[in-house]
Amino acid sequence: MTEQLLSIVHLSAVSARDGNAPVLRDVSLSVARGEVHGLVGESGAGKSTIAKAILGILPGGIRITQGTIKLGGRDLLALGAHARRRLLGAEVSLIPQDPLTALNPARRIGAQLTDGLRLWRGLSARDAQTRALALLDDVQMREPARVMRAYPHELSGGMRQRVLIAAAFALDPKLVIADEPTTALDTTVQKQILRLIRAMQERHGTSVIFVTHNLGVVAQICDRATLLYMGKVMEQGTTRDLIEVPHHPYTQAVMAACPRYDRPGQELEPIPDAVLATCRAEVMAFDRAGVSHG
Amino acid sequence: MLASSLIKRAVMAAVTLFGVAVIVFLLLRVAPGDPIAMMIGPGASAEDIASLRAHYGLDQPFLTQFVIWLAGILHGDLGTSISLHRNVVELLRERLPATLELAIVACAVAVILGGSVAILGTWLRGRGEGAIDAANGIMLAVPDFVWALAFVLVLGVFWQAFPLSGRIDPSIDPHFTTGFYLFESIFTGRFDLTRDILAHMAMPALALALPLAAIIIRILKDALSEAMLQDYVLLARVKGMSELRLIAGEALRNAVGPTLALTGVQFTFLIGGTVIVERIFAYPGIGSMAIDAVINRDLPLIQGLVLVFGALFILINLAIDVAVAALNPRLRHG
């Protein structure tokens, strides 16, 4: 068995703003070193909440009620604020969803690219600069020296996302969380960005958690995936198994609703209400069991 | 900023000042009160009054008076003060530096105080923010002259922490070559004088600074809280930056633009506030001179003072625009 980098065990969370309604229901998943793991689900399924829980940036109203998140054996939820900031800053990074808002409009690209290197590697300004130029080269950025001096508004969306990818891999992190990193981009650029993330991941041997609602993206770059519905894991497995032999009716329905290159001409089916009803019943049954136990 | 836009601003400034000149000239001619009646005794003969009127050109038609005055301005001549019998330009040159120094110190105090409280409030967020907001509410409600009177009583009379009036200890003869006492004492290294000048400035400057600081706190704290919710701050947080660095390094740069623009507008109110505050502290600037000029119906002096105030407002707003552009890279490359 491969070594697990990240393991989430029995993670549950509630939304205090919403009358303590559960947003995560007993989620367990693990990510091996070098694995690209897809977190798939509709909006509100809890995929972003899991990502934020790992990064320690849950919004004020969301509270974790049980479970552990372990990174390389250390329980993130048990760490003090400072130790957690240190650990996450150096070992986990984020590729955000919207490259247009994720860069500080008032700071030069070079400064934003070297933040982590200077903060956690203690590099001098000049060394960090050299390293940042190499990183921009790695993400196939043209004219890296000019980009370093530029402000975000001078770059296109695709270029900004490359900058953010370069920044995410700058510290050779153990885990990169990609939060729908292609949603805000043109379809043509999407494909390049996906390939780039995969290439960077392979070169650095990094584990990646890929948050997406797009099964096509999962098929393209993920080794394994977890399918969520209403904050509960519906099915988990290798990408191949999920696509070829889906067990859960929800997975089967989602697969049937997805266009496939290998089955041209096949009609696309909307997810049947009966399947959604089954999923909801499953969630309700889980909640009742939780209440009777509690 | 491009040269062409600077030229455009200069032309606009000239037009604005001309407008100010027309309005103040007209208002003073319609307003009740006769400068000649203010300067002579009750027993003066009609001939004396008529000859004085002719001496100051007040017997001419309005339009002629205006043209003469305007022609004088273009030659750098603002006429002669009726009450002080001295050249208006000379009077302004003596008094303006005192007011400028006071306004600059007051503005610096307001920016430092307001900026640090706003950052502190953002940093504390839930904890203690209510106390800051409450104190800020009081600061917003109390005008500068009320602060000034309170300081006179508490700091000046009761504790005697600061001198009550004037600009410098009257027993000192500083032999300054410029009117900028504070700056000159610093640049010439006479720090004992600097201390005395600052002590005299402390109460009027603080009285002028507090209302401005209150506005800076309110606006900057809101702008900072707004900026702290942005994606780039979230990403910086994920990078592991400390809370203080997130506020001062990431959010502040983006929050300071709108704050600066509004501070600029409020700063002009501060200049207006010098009129009463200088009076309370007998501070020899153009503010206290303006009150005397109005009481004496000293038309040339009032006109000169209003032009100077107008020019100050225009210059301050131009400086603020340049600063805002310098801080915002999107405008800079615009």
Paired with A212 in beta bridges are A40
Nearest to B238 among A55, A101, A103 (CB): A55
A182 touches chain B (CB under 8 A): no
CA B55 to each of CA A158, A174, B30, B80, B304: distance values in angstroms, whole numbers, following the listed order: 76, 90, 21, 11, 19
The pLDDT of residue A1 is above 60: no
What confidence category does residue A291 fall into, taking pLDDT thresholds of 50, 70 and 90? low
Considering only CB atoms, which chain B residues are within 8 Å of A105? Answer: 232, 254, 329-330
What's the mean pLDDT in B203-231?
94
What's the mean pLDDT in B305-322?
89
Q: Which of A280, A18, A103, A43 is nearest to B235 (CA)?
A: A103
Mean pLDDT, all residues of chain B: 89
The pLDDT of residue B41 is above 80: no
Mean pLDDT, all residues of chain A: 90
Instruction: Report the chain A residue with the minimal C-alpha distance to residue B326.
Output: A106
Cβ contact (<8 Å) for B235 and A96? yes
Considering only CB atoms, which chain B residues are within 8 Å of A115? Answer: 236, 239, 241
Considering only CB atoms, which chain A residues are within 8 Å of B253? Answer: 104, 106-107
**Most B CBs within 10 Å, among A104, A161, A183, to test the B interface:** A104
Amino acid letter for position A181: P
Min Cα–Cα distance to chain B from A89, Å: 4
What confidence category does residue B325 fall into, taking pLDDT thresholds of 50, 70 and 90? confident
What confidence category does residue A238 fall into, taking pLDDT thresholds of 50, 70 and 90? very high
Instruction: Report the chain B residue with the minimal C-alpha distance to residue A168.
Output: B239
Min Cα–Cα distance to chain A from B74, Å: 43
Q: Poorest-confidence range of B41-45, B79-83, B207-211, B297-301?
A: B41-45
- Rounded CA gap, B303 and B88, in Å? 9
What's the mean pLDDT in B261-281?
89
Tokens of A269: 């089916």
B260-295: b (≥16 Cβ within 10 Å) or e: bebbbebbbebbebbbbbbbbbebbbbbbbbeebbe
Considering only CB atoms, which chain A residues are within 8 Å of B242? Answer: 85
pLDDT in tens, A186-211: 888 888 999 999 999 999 999 999 99
Cβ contact (<8 Å) for B238 and A120? no
User: Would strands A175-179 and A92-95 be described as parallel, antiparallel, or unpaired?
Assistant: parallel
- Rounded CA gap, A34 and A175, in Å? 9
Q: Kindly state the percentage of chain B with pLDDT values over 90.
A: 59
pLDDT in tens, B207-217: 999 999 999 99
Q: Check residue B29 and give its pLDDT.
A: 85
What's the mean pLDDT in B251-272?
87
Q: Check residue B185 and give its pLDDT.
A: 92
C-alpha R_g of chain A: 20
Cβ contact (<8 Å) for A96 and B234? yes
What's the mean pLDDT in A226-252?
91
Cβ contact (<8 Å) for A93 and B241? no
DSSP A78: G
Cβ contacts of residue B94 below 8 Å, gap of 6+?
B179
Nearest to A106 among B235, B240, B329 (CB): B329
Q: Check residue B332 and give its pLDDT.
A: 67
The pLDDT of residue A294 is above 50: no
The pLDDT of residue A258 is above 90: no
The pLDDT of residue B15 is above 90: yes
Instruction: Report the chain B residue with the minimal C-alpha distance to residue A120.
Output: B240
The pLDDT of residue B180 is above 70: yes
The pLDDT of residue A13 is above 50: yes
B62 touches chain A (CB under 8 A): no
A149 touches chain B (CB under 8 A): no
Considering only CB atoms, which chain A residues are within 8 Å of B126? Answer: none
Considering only CB atoms, which chain A residues are within 8 Å of B234? Answer: 57, 96, 102
What is B89-329's CATH number, 1.50.40.10, 1.10.3720.10, 3.40.640.10, 3.40.50.920?
A: 1.10.3720.10
- Rounded CA gap, B137 and A86, in Å? 39
- Distance from the Cα of residue B156 to its chain's centroid: 23
| Interface confidence (ipTM) of the complex | 0.89
Q: What are phi and psi of B19, to 5 degrees?
A: -60, -45
A103 touches chain B (CB under 8 A): yes
A119 touches chain B (CB under 8 A): yes
What confidence category does residue B149 fall into, taking pLDDT thresholds of 50, 70 and 90? very high
pLDDT in tens, B86-112: 999 999 999 999 999 999 999 999 999
Q: Check residue A292 and give its pLDDT.
A: 54
Nearest to A106 among B238, B253, B333 (CB): B253
Considering only CB atoms, which chain A residues are within 8 Å of B239? Answer: 89, 93, 115-116, 119
> Number of A:B CB contacts under 8 A?
65
A85 touches chain B (CB under 8 A): yes
A115 touches chain B (CB under 8 A): yes
A96 touches chain B (CB under 8 A): yes
Min Cα–Cα distance to chain B from A79, Å: 14
B254 touches chain A (CB under 8 A): yes
Write down the domain spans for chain B. 3-74, 89-329
Q: Check residue B334 and give its pLDDT.
A: 42
Q: Which of A170, A190, A192, A168 is nearest to A181 (CA)?
A: A190
Nearest to A102 among B232, B328, B333 (CB): B232
The pLDDT of residue B223 is above 60: yes
What is A4-293's CATH number, 3.40.50.10190, 3.40.50.2300, 3.90.226.10, 3.40.50.300?
A: 3.40.50.300
Q: Check residue A208 and give its pLDDT.
A: 97
Considering only CB atoms, which chain A residues are within 8 Å of B330? Answer: 105, 151, 153
Min Cα–Cα distance to chain A from B250, Å: 7
